[in-house]
Amino acid sequence: MLLLKCDGLILSGGWDIDPLLFGENEHPKLGRINRKNDDFFLDSLHIAQDRRLPVLGICKGHQLLNVAYGGTLYQDLESQKEGAFRHVQTGERADYSHSVRIKADSWLSDLYPERMDVNSFHHQAIKDLGNGLRSAAQADDGVIEAIEHEKELVFGVQWHPEMLLSRNEDKALALMKKFVQCCAKNKN
Ligand SMILES: [Mn+2]
């Protein structure tokens, strides 16, 4: 399998996550799901875990990590989390939509100032954190926008750094560089 040749795993964005994976039935506002796709993500994650590879989850990937570690999701933020603002931006992919507060001592804290702007293309979000995971960044409405594992090399961001690359700012690239460095270091 291809993953046996990789030094790390990025779980990308995608459709909604099957709520059966965290013990819930479908909320009326749940979007498109594809269980095969979820299972592929989970299988890849399990191989990466077996091989102790660093993992970075982006948007859906970030949410799936939480589910894989036993956490839960808001199936639809707008109808399930009071006071949540709109996290499905109408602007361009590389536009900023809301700010996040980076937690001190998190994996992002040496890359970014305490507050920074991100893009936002999700109507689902982490509700209860999975085992061993902690929040690394939060939006002002309380939505968890980044996570990390307390012991494992497992990281997640709710925004899309790869879509911000066209801004030609160091900001988006910094996160990717850090992950690649983490993979290289882990290999040695
Ligand atoms: Mn957001």
What is the whole-number distance in angstroms between the Cα of residue 75 and the centre of ligand 1? 14
pLDDT at 119: 97
Q: Which two tokens stand for residue 20?
A: 């059966």
pLDDT at 161: 96
pLDDT at 136: 98
Concerning whether 169 is annotated as a catalytic residue, the answer is no
CA angle 49, 51, 150 (to 5 degrees): 45
Q: Please state, in angstroms and rounded to a whole number, the distance separating the CA atoms of residues 85 and 100.
A: 13
* Regions of the chain with pLDDT less than 50: none
Q: Please state, in angstroms and rounded to a whole number, the distance separating the CA atoms of residues 124 and 155.
A: 18
Q: Among residues 98, 102, 8, 114, which one has the least CA distance to residue 61?
A: 8
pLDDT at 2: 79
Concerning whether 183 is annotated as a catalytic residue, the answer is no
Going along the chain from its start, the domains and CATH numbers come out as 8-185 (3.40.50.880)
Please pick, among 148, 160, 182, 183, the residue that the annotation labels catalytic.
160
Q: Please state, in angstroms and rounded to a whole number, the distance separating the CA atoms of residues 167 and 66.
A: 29
Q: Which two tokens stand for residue 39?
A: 């299972």
Asked whether 41 and 90 are in contact (CB, 8 A), the reply is: no
Report the SS3 class of residue 34.
coil
Concerning whether 162 is annotated as a catalytic residue, the answer is yes
Q: Please state, in angstroms and rounded to a whole number, the distance separating the CA atoms of residues 51 and 42.
A: 14
Question: What distance lies between CA 131 and its chain's CA centroid?
Answer: 15
**Within 10 A of 159 (CB to CB), how many other CB atoms are there?**
30
The percent of the chain in helix, strand and coil, each rounded to the nearest 5, is 35, 20, 45
What is the whole-number distance in angstroms between the Cα of residue 49 and the centre of ligand 1? 27
Q: Which two tokens stand for residue 67?
A: 């589910």
Please pick, among 98, 122, 162, 182, the residue that the annotation labels catalytic.
162
